Amino acid sequence: MKITLQNLGRRFNQEWIFRGIDYTFSAPQAYAILGPNGSGKSTLIKVLTGQLTPSEGAITYEHEGQAIDVEHIYKHISIAAPYIELIEEFTLSELLDFHFKFKSPLPSFDKKSIVALLQMEKSLNKGLKFFSSGMKQRVKLALACCSDSKILFLDEPTSNLDQNGETWYLDLVAQTKKADRVIIIGSNQEKEYAFCEEQLSVLSYK
Q: How confident is the model at residue 21 (pLDDT cuts 50, 70, 90)?
A: very high
Residue 64's pLDDT is what? 87
Structural domain of 145:
2-205
Angstrom distance (rounded) from CA 177 to CA 146: 9
Report whether pLDDT(65) > 90. Answer: no
Percent of the chain at pLDDT above 90? 94
Indicate whether this model's pTM tops 0.85.
yes
pLDDT of residue 131: 98
Q: Work out the average pLDDT over 127-131.
A: 97
CATH number for the domain including 57?
Answer: 3.40.50.300
Query: 180 falls in which pLDDT band (50, 70, 90)?
Result: confident
pLDDT value at 55 more than 90 = yes
Q: Pick the closest to residue 134 from 157, 109, 105, 111 (CA basis).
A: 157
Torsion (CA) 174, 178, 179, 185 in degrees, nearest 10: -60
Q: Domain total for the chain? A: 1
